[in-house]
Amino acid sequence: MERRRFLAKAGAVTAAGAAAILDAPNVIAQPRYRWRMATSWPPKFHPPGIAAEMLAKLAEQMSGGRLHIDVYGAGELVPAFENFEACRQGTIQVGHSAAYYWAGKEPATQWFTAVPFGLNTQGTQAWLVSGGGQKLYDELYSGFGLVPRRGGPTGVQMGGWFRKKIETTADFKGLKMRIPGLGGKVVAKAGGTVTLLPVGDIFPSLERGVIDATEWVGPLQDERAGFHKAAKLYYYPGWHEPGTAGEFFFNKKAYDSLPVDIQRVLDAAAQVADVWSLAEHEAGNAGALERILKHGVQLIRFPDGVLRDFRKLSEDVLREEADKSQFAKKVHEHYEKFKKQWLEYSNLSERAYYHMMFA
Ligand code: CA
């Protein structure tokens, strides 16, 4: 009797509970968030500018409109390379950029964008997602009050645009080149003068001869930047950036204050933008290169001697940069250990496959 009465009561509660759940969207006002993102690219610059817009759009749609992000290109809210600081301060809640631009704050950041003669995009992805790299990335950025997510790989980049021919490593002596990160330090070691310009400022500098050479990404992005109108020698391969990836970073306080479901929305949206970005480069590079070559551009492979010298210089640079901070040392050792093992199997898989295909 007691039991029957209890069950009847429980049933009523359950029915009432179900009704409450059905009515929930009408009665419970969920907090809404309005965020600002600043990128390091001109507005809607394809693909990174579009990847930034994509994250904002997906966040809005996947959160049912609870998170709205306004996206600003470089210079619209803050200069191209000021978004890291702006996000730390909480002036903006999201940045879209590349980690090696923050080398001056902490040398370890450089490993999370590109390592000369390092992992390609697949290897970098494997290191970050399944090899423990993301844990280091999170730890490093939490020291800045930020949460990092990979935000757009480019594949192996091109070696860059040169106004004078490169025959030996000595040709880099006195050469003024726009090249960031660890690769830039290798060029400096070879005697070059290295500058770091945001993409919107590279073309005028190259055209006016303020710089003699620049790297950016590869045909898809380089065509849009118009470098073929300012220099005619297009070098490959991109020894300096074999597995480059952009990044999103979120202000940690703002991110942590979101409900968990919206945090996961941001993580997932960053992944979608990341996958899309690689596909855009892989699908668009070949066609863009064909169009570029119609402008009297000469495609040249770096001489073997230069690549050999740069490989040696890269090892020195990596060691020296790793010695600059404890965290850089930790990341460098972790990365090298992963790379060694990854390369051994790649020799039997990727390398053997390409070797066969191009034989
Ligand atoms: Ca680059």
How far away, in angstroms, is 328 Cα from ligand 1 center? 21
Q: What is the pLDDT, as a whole number, of residue 20? A: 46
pLDDT (mean) for 208-234: 98
Mean pLDDT, the chain, integer: 94
How far away, in angstroms, is 157 Cα from ligand 1 center? 6
In the chain, % of residues over pLDDT 90: 92
How far away, in angstroms, is 234 Cα from ligand 1 center? 14
Cβ neighbour number for residue 61 with a 10 Å cutoff: 12
How far away, in angstroms, is 186 Cα from ligand 1 center? 14
Predicted confidence (pLDDT) at residue 25 exceeds the cutoff of 80: no
- The pTM is what? 0.91
* Lookup: tokens for 20: 């409450």
Q: How far is CA 67 from the centre of its chain?
A: 23
Predicted confidence (pLDDT) at residue 6 exceeds the cutoff of 50: no
pLDDT (mean) for 145-167: 98
Q: All domains of the chain, ordered by start, with CATH?
A: 33-154+243-283 (3.40.190.170), 160-242+297-321+328-354 (3.40.190.10)
Paired with 35 in beta bridges are 69
Confidence at 13, pLDDT banded by 50, 70, 90 = very low
pLDDT (mean) for 259-274: 98
Contact 57, 66 (CB under 8 A): no
Predicted confidence (pLDDT) at residue 329 exceeds the cutoff of 80: yes
Q: What is the pLDDT, as a whole number, of residue 29? A: 84
Confidence at 284, pLDDT banded by 50, 70, 90 = very high
User: 202: phi > 0 → left, psi -120 to 50 → alpha, else beta; which?
Assistant: alpha
How far away, in angstroms, is 16 Cα from ligand 1 center? 60
pLDDT (mean) for 29-58: 97
Contact 237, 301 (CB under 8 A): yes
Q: What is the pLDDT, as a whole number, of residue 27? A: 52
Distances (CA, A) of 278 to 154, 237, 317: 5, 18, 28
The one-letter code for the residue type at 64 is G
Q: Phi and psi for 169 in degrees, rounded to 5?
A: -60, -30
For residues 87 and 149, what is the distance between their CA atoms, to the nearest angstrom?
14
How far away, in angstroms, is 266 Cα from ligand 1 center? 26
**Pairwise pLDDT comparison (1 vs 35), residue with the higher score:** 35
How far away, in angstroms, is 52 Cα from ligand 1 center? 18
Predicted confidence (pLDDT) at residue 113 exceeds the cutoff of 90: yes
Contact 288, 158 (CB under 8 A): no
Predicted confidence (pLDDT) at residue 21 exceeds the cutoff of 70: no
pLDDT (mean) for 114-130: 98
For residues 352 and 343, what is the distance between their CA atoms, to the nearest angstrom?
12
For residues 168 and 171, what is the distance between their CA atoms, to the nearest angstrom?
6
Alpha helices in the chain (DSSP H): 2-27, 48-62, 83-89, 121-129, 133-142, 181-189, 199-207, 219-225, 252-256, 260-292, 304-322, 326-348, 350-358
Q: What is the pLDDT, as a whole number, of residue 22? A: 52
Predicted confidence (pLDDT) at residue 2 exceeds the cutoff of 60: no
Q: Phi and psi for 288 in degrees, rounded to 5?
A: -65, -40
Q: How far is CA 270 from the centre of its chain?
A: 11
How far away, in angstroms, is 241 Cα from ligand 1 center? 6
User: What pLDDT digit, counting tens, does each position of 135-146 carry?
Assistant: 999 999 999 999
Predicted confidence (pLDDT) at residue 356 exceeds the cutoff of 70: yes
For residues 141 and 134, what is the distance between their CA atoms, to the nearest angstrom?
10
